[in-house]
Every structure is written in structure tokens, then in C-alpha cells.
Amino acid sequence: MSAMNTWEAQAYQVFPYGHSAYSGDSQAALFYPGIYSRAEYDMLSILAQVEARPNPQIQLGPVDLSCAIIVCDLSAADEPIVYANSGFSLMTGYTLDEVRGKNCRFLQAPPEAGPVRPRSARRYVAKDTIRKMRKALDKRAELQVEVVNFKKNGESFVNILTMIPVVVDGRTLCVGFQCEKE
């Protein structure tokens, strides 16, 4: 067997050779979990589109599913999360089922603080950071920013967030690559 990266090794432990993470059409069976989400987004194609975007403003380096990733639908009301991978769950403690349909702003306050309202003042995040994020979303522009976020357990962390908009099947999605700053 060839050398595997950490993510591949973890997937192999969860789904040993010959077993599939996909329970649909046996001809479309997948070895790796999380490549196709339960929201039916083809993450391989989306990441390929991110990698091949014509005029990148932010250099990402290698793009794969080993980092924390969320996808939001910018074409839908309140720009909800439609996909979150296991890296996101490991980083924040939230599962896809817990975050699907929510706007990412809920991460900008500890869970016990209650919902963060659209366009409201933020207690834990700088006004300038929120303004930059909103401007990038409105213009469908790429952005990399450090933003204070909160894990499910209430612990704060600095999220190095990279937002890349892509158009998939006529819908504008925002792919969020996330990394916890040490």
C-alpha cells in the first residue's frame, strides 16, 4: 500500500478496504467518507473549481478535504450552511446536522449567549472584521481574515477563515476553509 496522508489513514480505519461510505448506487460507491455530503454537494468538483478559479486573489496551497471546510449557499436567504466536513466538526464540536441551515454568524458568540442577529453589533468580533466579511460576501469576493469564533463547548478560538465564492449549478456558494490559529 502506498503512503497515506493523515486524512486517508483515518478514512481507512473507519472504512476498511472493500467497505463504502456511500450507501446508494453500488457503482458509485466511495471509499472516503465526507467527499459527497448528505446535502448532495459534490465536494470534489467544488474543490476542483476552487483550485481552478481563473483569477485567485488568495493563494490556498494544496486544496483537499483534510482541513475544516464549510459551504454556505449565498443564493439562499440568510446564506445558510449547506455542508460541513468532519474537519469542521473536529475543530468546533458541531456536526453537520447541528449547523445545516444556520448562518455562520452563530460561531461569533458562545452558545450560551443566544443567537447572533443579522447585521447586529458583535460583542466578541471586531466591527471592522464583520464589515470586511460582509463586503466580501456582497461582492462575491475572496477574503482571508482572522475572526474570533466559539466552539460548541463555549471555548473561544481565532479562526483563520478563507472565503472563496464559486458558482455551482447556477447557485453561488461560499467555500470556507478554516484553521484554528495557535
Q: CA 38 from chain center: how many Å?
A: 14
Residue by residue, pLDDT tens for the chain (182 residues) are 445 556 555 544 444 433 334 344 434 444 444 454 455 678 888 998 999 898 999 998 877 777 899 999 999 999 999 999 999 999 999 999 999 999 999 999 999 998 899 888 889 999 999 999 999 999 999 999 999 999 999 999 999 999 999 999 899 999 999 999 98
Q: CA 139 from chain center: how many Å?
A: 19
Give residue 20's pLDDT. 38
CB atoms within 10 A of CB 96: 19
Give residue 9's pLDDT. 53
DSSP designation for 28: G
For residue 150, what are the β-bridge partners? 156
Give residue 119's pLDDT. 84
Give residue 43's pLDDT. 86
Give residue 78's pLDDT. 95
Give residue 45's pLDDT. 87
Give residue 25's pLDDT. 42
Report yes or no: 38 and 59 within 8 Å, Cβ to Cβ.
no
Give residue 40's pLDDT. 66
What is residue 160's three-state secondary structure? strand
Q: Which amino acid, one-letter code, is at 170?
A: G
**Domains detected in the chain:** 49-180 (3.30.450.20)
Give residue 19's pLDDT. 38
Q: What are phi and psi of 13, to 5 degrees?
A: -70, -35
DSSP 101-135: TS-GGGGGS-GGG-PPPTT---SSS-HHHHHHHHH
